[in-house]
Structure 1
Amino acid sequence: MKLKTGFTALVVAGLLAGCAVPTAKQSVNMQTCKVENQMQQTTLYYGLTRQGGKLITAQEWQQYVDNDVTPRFRDGLTTFDAQGQWLGSNGKVTKEPSKALMLIHSVDAQTNAKIDTLREIYKSHFAQESVMRVDQPVCVQF
């Protein structure tokens, strides 16, 4: 019975080892990333509540993605649902349903301009104060 218990413990330990949180040493180091694999990840965060409280519908969001985002980023993109919270210019904390748009792209002035254009289109069309942008270097392999 001891042998079976010891074996079970080893199997469980082996399975749990795969659940370990990566340490800083295990994360991707951009200095060791091949130049051809170096790209930028930009995530844009969009609030879905207009001034006055009316929600931007799923259909309106999809039209924005289809008509404004996709033509500028035909190689691909990812969107996902989020729940946002932010401090408005009125000093009040606002909680609202949100969307996030993730783009993986080369770093160049043309791409940067496309991303900023997307932010301005959304703010103008849906009367938003801002669209948050987060950029970070990534090492990408396909």
Structure 2
Amino acid sequence: MSRAVPQVVTRSRLAVAVATVAILAGCGALPSAPEPSRACAAGFEAFERDTLYFGRAIPAGGQVSDAQWTAFLDAVVTPAFPKGLTVIDAAGQWRGASGSVMRESSKLVVLLHPRSSRDDTAIAGIIGTYRQRFGQEAVLQERQSVCVRF
């Protein structure tokens, strides 16, 4: 009989552990885009919102000027997203690879678009071009699935 009690306790613990894993497994997987019929209300479409954070301080010295930013926006970003975008002026800070905190003026570009590999490639190209052209360590990309109505 002394052996039966530990087996019951072990089975109970196992059942609790299995239930916990099953519950937590459901928390880890979120859909990459809402399905219009399930997640978006009537009249809305499932889109992605990508926000790109462009620091204007140039690590080698100086800053991306207004003229340089406008030229980049006109030549690189606008052709990739000709239907529209939003640019926001911001002040930001981040800790770079050197470990020091960098404070700099920034530009945020908000892109709303249906999810597609073409747009993913275009965004990667925008980020790569900015990093190379202005010697940037990084450009932050934030993505959220959203429902939009025009």
Which 4+ runs in 1 deviate beyond 2 A?
Answer: 32-36
Match of 1:63 among 41, 61, 71: 71
Q: How does 1:1-142 map to 2 (within 5 A)?
A: 31-34=39-42, 37-142=45-150
Alpha-carbon offset, residue 36 of structure 1: 5.9
**Residue aligned with 1:70, SS:** helix
Find the counterpart in structure 2 of residue 13 from structure 1: none
Percent identical across equivalent pairs? Answer: 34
CA distance in 2, matches of 1:111, 1:32: 21
Q: Which of these two proteins has the greater Rg computed from alpha carbons?
A: 2
Q: State the alpha-carbon separation in 1 of the partners of residues 44 and 119 from structure 2.
A: 17
Cα distance in 2 for partners of 1:35, 1:77 equals 21
Cα offset, 1:31, TM superposition: 1.6
What is the rounded CA distance, in whole Å, between the counterparts of 1:114 and 1:82 in structure 2?
23
* One-letter identity of the residue aligned with 1:116: A
State the SS of the aligned residue for 1:94: strand
Amino acid at match of 1:113: T
Contact 2:93 2:104 in 1 (8 A): yes
Q: Give distance in 2, aligned partners of 1:47 and 1:63.
A: 16
How far, CA to CA, are the matches of 1:131 and 1:111 in structure 2?
17
Cα distance, 1:134–1:35 mapped onto 2, change above 3 Å: farther
CA shift digits 1:79-123 (9 cap, x unpaired): 010111000100100000000000000101111010010000000
Write the distance in 2 (CA, Å) between the matches of 1:91 and 1:34. Answer: 48
Structure 2's unaligned 5+ residue stretches are 1-37
RMSD over aligned Cα atoms: 1.5
